[in-house]
Amino acid sequence: MMASSSSTTVTQDYDVFMSFRGEDTRMGFTSHLYDALIRNDIITYKDDKTLEIGNPIASKLLEAIEASRIAIVVLSSNFATSKWCLEEIAKIVDCMEHGKLIVIPVFYHVDPSDVRCQGNYFQKGFSDHEANPEISPQTVKTWRSAFKKVGALSGMHVTQHRNETEVIREIVAKILKDMPDALPKDLFHGLVGMESRVDEIKRILRMESGEVLFVGICGMSGIGKTTLAESVFYHIQRQFEKSSFIENIKDISKQDDSTDLCKLQQKLLDDILKEKSVRVQSVKHGQTLLGTKLRGLKVIIVLDDVNHVDQLTCLAGGHEWFGPGTRIIVTTTNIDLLNVHKIIEIYKCEEMKNYEAHRLFCQSAFEHGPRTHVYEKWSDDIVKLAGGLPLALNVYGSVLYGKEESYWKEMLKKLQEYPPKDVLGRLEVVFARLDSNQQETFMYIACFLKGRDMDLVKDILTNIGLYSECGITDLMNKFLITINLDDCVWMHDLLQQMCWEILRKKSHIYRGIHFAIKNFQDIVVVLLSKESSTIRIINQEKVEMDDSIDDPYCFSIMRRLKFLRISNVRFPQGLSYLSNDLRILEWFQCSLKSLPSNFKPMHMYELEMCYSQLETLWEVTLVFTNLRSINLSFSKELIKIPDLTSTPKLLKLILEGCTKLRELHESVLLQKSLQYVNLTGCTHLQSLGRSNIEMEALVTLLLSGCSSLEYIPDFGLNMKCLENLYLDGTNIKKLPESLGELHNLRKLDASETSIEEIPLSIRYLKRLRLLRAQRCPLSSQYKGFLFTNVDILSNIRELDLSYCNLSIVPEGVGILHRLISLDLSGNNFEHLAASISLLSNFKMLCLNNCKRLQSLPKLSIVNEDTLYGVQLRFNYIMSGEEVDLSTFHATSNNTSPRVSCMNCPRLAKNESGSYLAERVLNSYLQLRTTYWMIPEAVFEIVAAGSEIPSKFRTSKSDEMLLLDGPWVGVAICAVIAFHHTDANMETKYVVTAHIHRGKTLCKIPVPVNLVQGSENQLVFYWTRAKDLQRLIYTYKKNTFRVSFSVEPRDGNLQVTKFGVHFIRDEEIHQMKIYEDSTNKVVRSKFTAAVTLATYLKRGSKADRINFEDTIHFKSITSFIFVYRRNVISAVCFGLQCCFGCFQGVVDIDH
């Protein structure tokens, strides 16, 4: 028997003693745990490294246990086979029972019940000891008793579904909490994004102040409030005399249970005073004790997960309870509690940023990061599914840790429908504590109203009979819903899933007990069974295969149905009943020709029946006092719409694509509330009515593509709100003189109409920003009138006069000083007015198909506020003279020009075009903004070319390419052939390079706008490719295949050959920087990709470049290089050069 430890006083030399079975965990879990403890300055005894030579091991082990404050017992499958382990555990229990040791058991892949009962793994170990004659039965009995007592303790569990790192972090946190004098050295180890959040809380805490300060940390359940509070607590704990951290208060304290509150008060006093003699007799007594005992102390107290104001009142009643400099931190899911307790300093926890969420998930799901590109993609999907919620990210990661691809693939689908209980359980607790009004409000929002305007949601819920103002405010304060920047009601996806799961559990499909259903098969069953009188919501979220229901009375029992969203459900026998209690009806592809005659939903707010077979809505005039929106888009059988006189709150009328609609009811033009009318593509619409348009609230009127409409009525005097008027594609011949009454009009599109004259009243449209008159047969007097009258277009930003048969561009264009975009394509002028160079805000000049154009004026872009620079397009110019581009340049350091000049054979002969490409691109690289702010490719130059540069290795499609050394980038050059079609048609193609190795590792899509029938092209293209960046860092030495695809696949574009060039460091350092026209050498902190392109093109010997010492090649930039020669185009897309020390600032000195 071991000697009792009670007879001697031992100095505590160790914070922690570790007891473990070496052969099970020494090289894994135990080693990692020991390292974590040492990192946090926790003095830990492990193995025999501190034993002095010559001393008996047994006595030193027992002394080490007595000299420790905490014992960690790692119970693994072979623990009971070691008599030394059992001797240790017996001593540990002895010390524990004498109050000298805190014991933390770790159940390492074993069941605690097996430890308590000595079954399963442990039975044989104890049996062998009992059979050993050298061990007395009493000793084995002592071991069994100690083993059972440790198994009965609450401890940590390491299972296959739980990451060991997470368990280790929890053990360290518990030890630090139980040992407040041990300051953590590596506090944020394993915590993602925590340091910045702790710094923010510390700023709020104002630690330099001597005041007593209460601080609230609030947010939805599972968002990391407790973890944040713990991190802050351990970080600042040493700055206080005493401390206490009380966890899970809502679980400990039941409402109206004074006993639980007394326990919490007692724990707080014990933590602070360390006196067992002070006992709380009642809640009032506890308040008195706290108010007197703590008054002179500077303490830090964390009250975690508070859910009732009484808990705050009992534990931290007021500032006067505590000494100067005290800080009280309260975490809660209900901000109302903080307001009631007059806590002003509040930190609201937000969801994790995407990169933080990705890192946290990968930390839990992988040992060394995602194994393949497929796992990377699935990780992105799961991170998106978790919505930045740390609880979900950790749980999802643990569930998927160590699993194969097939498991991941199936689990991803499962998680979308059924999140783990560990996640939903935490969220359901919050829902269960809501009152009935709050619960019903939450369910309506989660099941149907999420994403809708807040005022509309409030109005609907009030109309239903709920206290919507109170309900929505309460849910917001409990972080169950939010209001986004668009003023729409929103909630976390997991909260929405939780609501559906609660309803699913309560619903019994064949018993007709429902509140809401969304599954397509469930909907069909409910409609066929006619046994769901309680149902309020049918929300078919996924469009599935068609199904038909022959019973026209299938909705007859659903008299309480308030929201209906279905699609692709056919009713061959028609429908005889729909609930008149409906507030919103959304029916996609409705097969009915008319709605039931007895359907009179007087409470209707929204009616949306796109792609329906409806011929009309209702025959008689109905009163809809709440109706806000009617959307019958692409209902191609719709002949007429009803009288809308009795819809005083109607805001939107959408009849786009209703091709059989011939006229509007005259009530539409007299609607005082309508703000948005969309009649786009109503090709048979002939009349808007005979009266004037008197729509005082109208903001947008869309008549695009109404090709049978020849006349538009006069506008009333009170139409002060109309901002957008789209008449393009109509057959209107004249605009009404009353157009000038639309003083707020900002956009007028009259493209492809028959308008010859523009009313003089247009001069009164001082706020007009966009005017399009493409292909309008304007008379000559109106062409000049537009350009020369500064009062008309003084505020114009975008002007489109393409294909208007203009023979000159008047010098008056220079007065349009606010013009940003000018499209003069397809006109007959030979020269542009020199005054165009005065347009300082210019960003786009389009001159496509100006076949007589001879030259361009100087275009100097001098506006420092221009970020993305000028886009210059003059495709399909076939003039007899060469177009001179030499004067086009960008002088601003903030410009990034884009030039497109496809199918310009005369330009190919002008050497200035090639020089222009290099010079303009250099200007592009002078952007004084971060690289990541450039959203897309913004630089193109198009000319002829058909040969792969000599530096490239010419390859066949899908040929295996071997990398024989380290590389920093890859350039891919492809020759593209085009076939003749309509010379006036412009088509957008996407040529995609696929880099793959068994599976596609990277795709580099290149959008190319081409005039069909073109033969000669030369393309410069600048873009970026994140996938290739990942590829370069992951597979620096390997083999790849390269192949190409073209969209659309119309046979007009074909990749005939391509070349690949892998770029290495030494090659980049050998590039020659060519001198510009003034013979000044370009020295760059950021090596221009055009330099490499030029070097590869000319094939000349290069001098060594002297770069500044800060240059390394790490960051990725993608560049598409153009190599011009003979007939077809060579598109070098994806020049992936790696540039380093790139901090977002590009600076080129000339």
Under DSSP, the state recorded for 447 is: I
pLDDT at 927 over 50: no
pLDDT at 896 over 50: no
Predicted local distance difference test score (pLDDT) of residue 638: 95
Average pLDDT of the residues of the chain = 77
Taking a C-beta distance cutoff of 8 angstroms, is the pair 47, 19 a contact? no
pLDDT at 356 over 60: yes
Under 8 Å CB-to-CB from 921, ≥6 apart: which residues? 939, 1020, 1022, 1088, 1089, 1090
Q: For 174-178, 420-424, 794-798, 927-931, which range has the lowest pLDDT when averaged over its residues?
A: 927-931
If pLDDT is split at 50, 70 and 90, which confidence band does 1148 have? very low
Q: For 6-10, 342-346, 782-786, which range has the lowest pLDDT when averaged over its residues?
A: 6-10
Residue range 704-728, pLDDT digits in tens: 999 999 999 999 888 999 999 999 9
pLDDT at 865 over 60: no
Alpha-carbon separation of residue 833 from 777, 790, 816 (angstroms):
22, 16, 13
Predicted local distance difference test score (pLDDT) of residue 1120: 31
Taking a C-beta distance cutoff of 8 angstroms, is the pair 681, 707 a contact? no
Phi, psi (rounded to 5 degrees) for 888: -80, 120
**CB-count burial class (<10 Å; 0-12, 13-18, 19+) for 23:** exposed
Q: What whole-number distance in Å separates Cα of residue 473 and Cα of residue 495?
A: 17
Amino acid at 915: Y
Taking a C-beta distance cutoff of 8 angstroms, is the pair 545, 524 a contact? no
Q: What whole-number distance in Å separates Cα of residue 579 and Cα of residue 921?
A: 64
* Count of C-beta atoms within a 10 Å radius of residue 718: 12
In 3D, which of 1148, 1139, 1086, 1090 has the Cα closest to residue 1114? 1139
What share of the chain in percent tops pLDDT 90? 32
Q: What whole-number distance in Å separates Cα of residue 846 and Cα of residue 604?
A: 48
Residue range 28-48, pLDDT digits in tens: 889 889 988 887 768 888 865
SS3 assignment, position 904: coil
Instruction: Decide if 88 is catalytic.
Output: yes
Q: How many CA atoms lie within 13 A of 811 on its CB side?
A: 2
Q: What whole-number distance in Å separates Cα of residue 137 and Cα of residue 127?
A: 11
SS3 assignment, position 232: helix
If pLDDT is split at 50, 70 and 90, which confidence band does 815 have? confident
Overall CATH class of domain 778-860: alpha beta
pLDDT at 88 over 70: yes
Under 8 Å CB-to-CB from 168, ≥6 apart: which residues? 29, 32, 33, 36
Q: What whole-number distance in Å separates Cα of residue 898 and Cα of residue 166?
A: 51
- Higher pLDDT pick, 785 / 391: 391
Q: What whole-number distance in Å separates Cα of residue 316 and Cα of residue 287?
A: 8
- What CATH number belongs to 14-178? 3.40.50.10140
Alpha-carbon separation of residue 52 from 55, 61, 91, 426 (angstroms):
6, 12, 21, 51
Q: Which two tokens stand for residue 326?
A: 């005290």
pLDDT at 331 over 90: yes
- Higher pLDDT pick, 529 / 340: 340
- The active-site residue, picked from 66, 87, 88, 918, is 88
* E strand intervals along 322-408: 327-332, 345-348
If pLDDT is split at 50, 70 and 90, which confidence band does 890 have? very low
Amino acid at 238: R
The runs of H, that is alpha helices, within 911-998 are 911-924
Report cis status (omega within 30 of 0) of the bond before 105: no
Taking a C-beta distance cutoff of 8 angstroms, is the pair 55, 61 a contact? no
In 3D, which of 668, 769, 779 has the Cα closest to residue 724? 769
What share of the chain in percent tops pLDDT 70? 71
Predicted local distance difference test score (pLDDT) of residue 909: 47
SS3 assignment, position 169: helix
Q: What whole-number distance in Å separates Cα of residue 89 and Cα of residue 102?
A: 13
Q: Which two tokens stand for residue 735?
A: 């605009």
- What CATH number belongs to 423-510? 1.10.10
The runs of H, that is alpha helices, within 467-568 are 468-477, 493-506, 520-529
SS3 assignment, position 977: strand
Under 8 Å CB-to-CB from 934, ≥6 apart: which residues? 868, 896, 927, 1024
Residue whose structure tokens are 């410009």: 895
pLDDT at 455 over 90: yes
pTM value is 0.69
Q: What is the CA radius of gyration of the chain?
A: 38
Taking a C-beta distance cutoff of 8 angstroms, is the pair 10, 66 a contact? yes
Asked if 14-178 and 194-348 have one fold, the answer is: yes
Taking a C-beta distance cutoff of 8 angstroms, is the pair 338, 346 a contact? yes
Q: N- to C-terminal Cα distance for the chain?
A: 88
Under 8 Å CB-to-CB from 386, ≥6 apart: which residues? 357, 361, 392, 393, 396, 494
Amino acid at 696: E
The residue-averaged pLDDT of 974-992 equals 64
- Higher pLDDT pick, 604 / 1057: 604
The residue-averaged pLDDT of 849-872 equals 58
The residue-averaged pLDDT of 667-678 equals 93
Exposure string of 231-258, with b = 16+ CB inside 10 Å and e = fewer, is bbbbbbbeebebbbbbbebbebbeeeee
Alpha carbon dihedral 653, 656, 662, 668, in 10-degree steps, equals: 10
Predicted local distance difference test score (pLDDT) of residue 1108: 29
Alpha carbon dihedral 390, 396, 397, 398, in 10-degree steps, equals: 110
Under DSSP, the state recorded for 1009 is: E
Q: Which two tokens stand for residue 544?
A: 């599935």
Taking a C-beta distance cutoff of 8 angstroms, is the pair 112, 160 a contact? no
Residue range 368-423, pLDDT digits in tens: 777 676 788 888 889 998 999 999 999 999 898 888 888 998 998 888 888 888 88
- Domain chopping of the chain, boundaries: 14-178, 194-348, 354-417, 423-510, 778-860, 898-1072
Residue range 866-881, pLDDT digits in tens: 333 445 565 555 554 4
pLDDT at 691 over 60: yes
Q: Which two tokens stand for residue 287?
A: 């308040």
If pLDDT is split at 50, 70 and 90, which confidence band does 313 have? very high
Q: What whole-number distance in Å separates Cα of residue 1060 and Cα of residue 949?
A: 10
The residue-averaged pLDDT of 1074-1087 equals 34
Q: What whole-number distance in Å separates Cα of residue 224 and Cα of residue 239?
A: 24
Under 8 Å CB-to-CB from 771, ≥6 apart: which residues? 748, 749, 793, 796, 798, 799, 800
The residue-averaged pLDDT of 965-980 equals 64
- Higher pLDDT pick, 1004 / 928: 1004
Predicted local distance difference test score (pLDDT) of residue 834: 83
Amino acid at 105: P
SS3 assignment, position 1032: helix
Q: Which fold has domain 194-348?
A: Rossmann fold (3.40.50)
Residue range 150-171, pLDDT digits in tens: 988 888 888 887 888 888 988 9
* E strand intervals along 247-354: 299-306, 327-332, 345-348
If pLDDT is split at 50, 70 and 90, which confidence band does 1089 have? very low
